[in-house]
Structure formats: C-alpha cells, structure tokens
Amino acid sequence: MIKAGIIVFPGSNCDRDAEFALNSCGFETEYIWHDYDNILKYDFIFIPGGFSYGDYLRAGALAKFSPVMKHVEKFAIEKKGLIMGVCNGFQILTETGMLPGALSKNTSLKFICKDVDVNVESFETPFTKYIEKKKLRLPIAHSEGNFKIEKKDIELIKDKVAFKYVENPNGSYEDIAGIFNKNLNILGMMPHPERNSVKTLGNGDGAYIFLSIRRYLEDAKNN
C-alpha cells in the first residue's frame, strides 16, 4: 500500500480532511508533526491547508522555518518524492522557494469560500496522468489565493501550470489555480481536492488527483 505522510503544523485545520480523502483513495496515512525528521519512509507527502502558526506575518511565512520543511526539501531532491501542498500548503511551498511565485490577497480583499471549476492543463505528470476529466469542480476557501509571479520568473512556470480557473475568483495571474516545480514532483494548488473526494461531499472530482498519484506510485514500485 502507498504510504502518505500528512504534515501538521500548529494551526493546520485540513489535515483530517486530507486523511479522509487519502484513505478513501486507497492510501495508508500517518500524521507528521512539524518537528519530525524521519519522512524518507513515505511515498508521498501532503501539506494541508489551514492557518499554520496563525498565518502571522503572512500566510506560510513562519511555517517555512519549521524543522520538517528541511526534510521535505530533502525528500523532494534526494528521493525525488511526490509532494502536494493545498491552499496554506501551497503558500508554504512558495515561501520556502520550492515553488516559484507568491500568493497574495484576493483582488476582492474578501475571504472566498465556494466551489469552482478548474481545467487540467497538463496530463503529463504523476499528479494528473490518470485523471479522466479535463474539467474538475473543486472547493476553494482562502483570502490569499491570488497567484503572482515576477516578470523575470515567468519562464519558470512555462509548461508547469497544473490547473487554471474557468472563471478567475481571486485575480490570479493567467487564471492559475495550481503549478508544478521544474521536476514535476511538487504540486501546489489553492483549490481543495480533499474536500470533494467522495460523492457525498459533491461530485467526488478531487479523488481523480489522489487516484492518479496512487496509480503512478504503484506503477513505479512495480517497474
């Protein structure tokens, strides 16, 4: 069974949603406290949403200094492991520099909580290879989800866009809802697939992403 580690910071509040979604999609899961270091034993690392360290200073700014994040970076580089950060998890990944760009306040200056449609922009990654639909309906819940990137860094996201909003809810550059790193083993996204992973929570579209990850990792283990 594919083993997923869910990182928990003080202030995380989507870790249980992630556990439910991953278990529903056939993963074995464990929580990883923010000062834990033995993460190379996992096949997949999930960084959930919430308000890590209260989002003081700005979202994700303090979480990047947590001891576990050094090991997350090691997991990505040495093991080439798959890492996924959702909402606050995405913000943390940009703060650490593991993903380019930054997440700023929504153009409305309001917290937005609703379901949105996103298009899958690439099916050539571990996270999306086995997704069976072009358009997914996923929940969003954020006040700082407006993806920004400096002109000098735009080349870094060329062909690395994971998802785009069908109707941009927050002002994100080029309607971007999620991006990959250059090696395609890190995904950051603002929508919450873990909140729509079974049909009792909506249409279950979020499960497509987790099932793609699981199938990719299973194939890698068997080859």
| Residues taking part in catalysis | 87, 192, 194
H or E stretch covering 19: helix 15-24
CA pair distance 18, 6, nearest whole angstrom: 7
DSSP single-letter state for residue 149: -
Task: Give strand pairing partners of 146.
Answer: 104
Closest CA to 114 of 170, 65, 162: 170
Pairing status of strand 102-104 against strand 146-148:
antiparallel
Burial class (CB in 10 A: 0-12, 13-18, 19+), 114: exposed
- Do residues 161 and 120 make contact, with C-beta atoms less than 8 angstroms apart? no
Question: H or E element: which one contains 180?
Answer: strand 176-180
Token pair 């309906």 is at which residue?
A: 137
